[in-house]
């Protein structure tokens, strides 16, 4: 650190009058010359990441604040770690900002003041994310047995990508998509997030195939070097990713929050390549072994079937011999049936002859029966004719009585029958018509009916 207590040389016996701009430039030159290289320890507060890529914050100690700024180029270089509440030693140069009449520290490098401070911040973040369920085992996705496409997010330079590709080629060559990113510094988390979103945006119709699994890899380093993989925004992005993610950060002893949220943690980048694909030669050997066992098993099955067939064939000898007893039994039953039928026919013949002897003159009995039936028929016919004559006589008498009682004979004598025109019922009394007023009537004569309307005057 360079520091000088000497003040600029100005005449003191005569007051010096400066403009505001002149004074600001003089003050800026004095501060920058005096504090051109300085390290200041303090706690980061009021951290603000501008859209331009620059980061603005303050270093706090008690109630004292010092404004600080870290330019975009420094941020992306990976030489700084800036987290709210983290105690650091910020190295850089002091300058003034004339627009606000204030001085500020231009940060060029940071160093965490004591690893315990960084670990404390990491543990607090870990417990908070765990409480939200981001590390739950129920959210872990299974890896495909043999992925068609593997997405790798890492630095395009260095040994990590080469180790992964070499191990994949040795085990089971697959199609690999490399998305180059920064793996250290403030610019690393945003670039990794963009890579995850880029892989997820690929579809089946895209010219570039969508990865079946993603490996996020980086070589080993200190906790400060690997701090980008503890970024909260990155952790949440991995949690929401629909593609299985393998974390392959550092060595086996290195741990980051990415290891907890990923679907699988590999101890090293090379280990990730071993996890994502099986050994093709092992698969071939296993397949050949299964094929050998299948052929051997089939051979044993055929041998057992052949032995079973041979034993059964020995027992059978000639299949026709099984039917010989049945054929002989059939012949015996046929002879017995034939003999039984002959005996039955003989008995029936004897019974028939005996019955015929009992009916010596059947024709005479038939003639007698015919004569008796004819006599019965004659008697029935005579009785029917007599009955018919009686009925005819009765009908004639009834007809004469009806004729005598018929009103048509009265009509022939000059009388007429008066009937109601609607009901055709006879009207027997004149009072009936007088009570009704003019009424339609029918007057039946011997040869026809005549309609009329009654009137009280004519009546």
Query: pLDDT for 402-425, tens place per residue?
Result: 877 777 777 777 788 888 888 888
Residue 310: inside a domain, yes or no? no
Output the pLDDT for position 3: 40
Instruction: Kindly state whether residues 400 and 420 are assigned to the same domain.
Output: no
- For 380, the domain range is 373-405
Scan for tokens 């872990």, then name that residue: 140
Instruction: Kindly state whether residues 57 and 132 are assigned to the same domain.
Output: no
Instruction: Kindly state whether residues 194 and 237 are assigned to the same domain.
Output: yes
Output the pLDDT for position 362: 62
Output the pLDDT for position 240: 94
Which parts of the chain sit beneath pLDDT 70? 1-14, 78-79, 99, 114-115, 315-323, 356-364, 456-459
Distance CA 241, CA 245 (A): 8
> What's the pLDDT tens digit per position in 182-236?
998 878 899 999 999 999 999 888 899 999 999 999 988 888 888 889 999 999 9
Residue 359: inside a domain, yes or no? no
Instruction: Kindly state whether residues 231 and 380 are assigned to the same domain.
Output: no
Instruction: Kindly state whether residues 129 and 274 are assigned to the same domain.
Output: yes
CB 188 within 8 A of CB 218: no
Output the pLDDT for position 196: 96
> Which tokens belong to 139?
């959210």
Among residues 249, 281, 313, the one where a domain terminates is 281
If you ran DSSP here, which 8-state letter would residue 206 be given? S
Output the pLDDT for position 131: 92
Residue 48: inside a domain, yes or no? yes
If you ran DSSP here, which 8-state letter would residue 294 be given? H
Share of the chain above pLDDT 70, in %: 91
Q: How many separate domains does the chain show?
A: 4
Output the pLDDT for position 20: 82
Instruction: Kindly state whether residues 47 and 165 are assigned to the same domain.
Output: no
Residue 358: inside a domain, yes or no? no
Distance CA 444, CA 344 (A): 91
CB 254 within 8 A of CB 226: yes
- The pTM of the full predicted model, rounded to 2 decimals, is 0.52
Distance CA 115, CA 71 (A): 25
CATH number at residue 91: 2.40.50.140
Distances (CA, A) of 109 to 3, 55, 61, 96: 19, 13, 19, 19
Instruction: Kindly state whether residues 194 and 138 are assigned to the same domain.
Output: yes
Output the pLDDT for position 138: 92
Output the pLDDT for position 101: 72
């Amino acid at each position: 650190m360079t520091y000088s207590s000497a003040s600029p040389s100005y005449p003191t016996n005569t007051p010096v009058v400066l403009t505001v701009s002149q004074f600001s430039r003089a003050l800026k030159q004095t501060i920058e010359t005096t504090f051109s290289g300085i390290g200041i320890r303090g706690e980061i507060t009021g951290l603000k990441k501008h859209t331009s890529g620059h980061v603005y914050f303050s270093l706090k100690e008690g109630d004292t604040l010092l404004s600080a700024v870290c330019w975009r180029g420094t941020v992306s270089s990976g030489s700084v770690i800036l987290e709210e509440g983290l105690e650091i030693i910020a190295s850089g140069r002091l300058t003034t900002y004339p627009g606000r009449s204030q001085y500020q520290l231009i940060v060029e490098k940071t160093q965490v003041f004591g690893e315990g401070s960084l670990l404390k911040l990491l543990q607090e973040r870990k417990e908070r994310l765990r409480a939200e369920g981001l590390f739950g085992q129920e959210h872990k996705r299974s890896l495909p047995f043999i992925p068609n496409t593997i997405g790798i997010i890492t630095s395009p330079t260095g040994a990590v990508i080469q180790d992964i590709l070499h191990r994949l080629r040795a085990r089971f060559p697959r199609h690999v998509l490399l998305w180059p990113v920064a793996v250290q510094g403030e610019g690393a988390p945003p670039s990794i997030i963009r890579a995850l979103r880029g892989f997820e945006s690929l579809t089946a119709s895209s010219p570039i195939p969508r990865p079946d699994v993603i490996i996020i890899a980086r070589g080993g380093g200190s906790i400060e070097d690997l701090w980008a993989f503890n970024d909260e925004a990155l952790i949440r992005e991995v949690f929401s990713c629909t593609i299985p993610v393998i974390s392959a950060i550092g060595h086996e002893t290195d741990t980051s929050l990415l290891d907890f949220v990923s679907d699988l943690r590999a101890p090293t980048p090379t280990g990730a390549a071993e996890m994502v694909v099986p050994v093709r030669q092992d698969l071939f050997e296993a397949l050949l072994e299964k094929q050998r066992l299948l052929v051997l098993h089939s051979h044993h099955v055929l041998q057992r079937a052949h032995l079973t067939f041979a034993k059964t064939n020995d027992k059978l000898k000639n299949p026709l011999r099984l039917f010989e007893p049945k054929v002989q039994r059939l012949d015996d039953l046929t002879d017995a049936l034939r003999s039984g039928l002959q005996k039955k026919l003989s008995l029936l013949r004897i019974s028939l002859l005996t019955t015929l002897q009992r009916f010596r003159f059947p024709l005479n009995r038939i003639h007698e029966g015919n004569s008796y039936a004819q006599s019965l028929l004659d008697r029935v016919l005579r009785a029917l004719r007599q009955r018919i004559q009686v009925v005819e006589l009765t009908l004639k008498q009834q007809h004469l009585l009806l004729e005598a009682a018929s009103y048509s004979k009265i009509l022939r004598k000059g009388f007429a029958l008066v009937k109601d025109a609607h009901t055709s019922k006879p009207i027997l009394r004149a009072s009936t018509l007088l009570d009704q007023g003019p009424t339609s009537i029918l007057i039946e004569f011997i040869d026809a009916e005549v309609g009329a309307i009654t009137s009280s005057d004519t009546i």
